[in-house]
Homo-oligomer: A and B are copies of this chain.
Amino acid sequence: MPTPLAEGDFSAVLTTAELEVIASLRCFVVEELRTARRFLSAAGLRGHIDELELHELNEHTSPAEVEALAGLFDGGRNVGLLSEAGLPAVADPGALLVDLCHRHGIRVVPMVGPSSLMLALMASGLNGQSFAFKGYLPAKTPERRRALQELERLSSRLGQSQIFIETPYRNDAMLTDILECCNPSTKLCIATNVTAADEDIRTKTVEQWKKQKPAIGKRPTVFILCA
């Protein structure tokens, strides 16, 4: 089940079908308990939070703990899977639970909601017929520049849009590295705070961005590079 990417009215980013399903469930596997309770309360379960059975699944969950989650489905119970923002299991935890379901023959039903990666891609004007998502690049400048140049080569060779993200507090360092090591003619989409009131999605060449470096700050940002 997708969750919103930004503060605001749920009806702009979640379907009424998803909100109805949330209200009907009493068991959820979530990335983080505290924010999941806040979301579920606002999404229709206010007054029922103490009745809910919530289980965490994130990078700290051991393989044995994941396997134990199979018991949640006993008796054919429906269980919701949530991550902190956007789609669970896509650039976010959750895939291990989904994998477990397939291995146990438990039906998995994805619900429609916001994917920051696809919202950025569809609004970028870059190649949406061939693309790749790499997740996070290395955090240190020399390694990051090598990774960026490799993405640029791949994009040029395969005609493939390259999508990547960065921890918000490193956005500015990432942008500096992109502008200093990529070809001036390479196109770069910077998609900041997608679905928020201050959403800003623009595509320019590296050369054009250099002339007017955008102020991303620490807002969540998706980068798409197309050489």
A: residues with CB less than 8 A from B are 9, 11-17, 87-92, 94-102, 108-110, 112-115, 117-135, 160, 194-195, 199, 201-204
How far apart sit A123 and B135, CA to CA, in the bound complex (Å)? Answer: 18
Assess whether B132 is in contact with A160, with CB atoms less than 8 Å apart: yes
Residues of B within 8 A of A108 (CB): 123, 125, 201
Q: Can you name 15 A-B pairs with beta carbons within 8 Å?
A: A9-B17, A11-B16, A12-B16, A87-B128, A89-B123, A89-B128, A90-B122, A90-B128, A94-B122, A98-B124, A102-B125, A112-B195, A115-B118, A129-B135, A130-B133
Which residue of the partner chain, among B89, B129, B195, contacts A125 with CB atoms under 8 Å? B89
Assess whether B88 is in contact with A129, with CB atoms less than 8 Å apart: no
In the complex, the chain B residue whose C-beta lies closest to that of A83 is B122
Assess whether A91 is in contact with B129, with CB atoms less than 8 Å apart: yes
Known: A90-B122, A118-B90, A122-B89. A194 touches B110 (CB 8 A): yes
How far apart sit A100 and B125, CA to CA, in the bound complex (Å)? Answer: 8
Known: A114-B112, A128-B95, A129-B135. A102 touches B202 (CB 8 A): yes
How far apart sit A194 and B109, CA to CA, in the bound complex (Å)? Answer: 9
Known: A89-B128, A118-B87, A128-B90. A110 touches B17 (CB 8 A): no
Given contacts A102-B202, A130-B132, A132-B160, 8 further A-B contacts (CB under 8 A): A9-B17, A11-B16, A13-B17, A91-B129, A96-B125, A109-B123, A112-B114, A131-B132
Residues of B within 8 A of A130 (CB): 132-135
Residues of B within 8 A of A100 (CB): 125
Assess whether A119 is in contact with B125, with CB atoms less than 8 Å apart: no
In the complex, the chain B residue whose C-beta lies closest to that of A92 is B128
Assess whether B128 is in contact with A119, with CB atoms less than 8 Å apart: no
Question: How many Å from the CB of A82 to the closest CB on chain B?
Answer: 12
Residues of B within 8 A of A95 (CB): 124-128
How far apart sit A44 and B100, CA to CA, in the bound complex (Å)? Answer: 41
Which residue of the partner chain, among B13, B96, B126, contacts A15 with CB atoms under 8 Å? B13
Assess whether A119 is in contact with B129, with CB atoms less than 8 Å apart: no
How far apart sit A16 and B121, CA to CA, in the bound complex (Å)? Answer: 22
Residues of B within 8 A of A125 (CB): 89, 95-102, 108
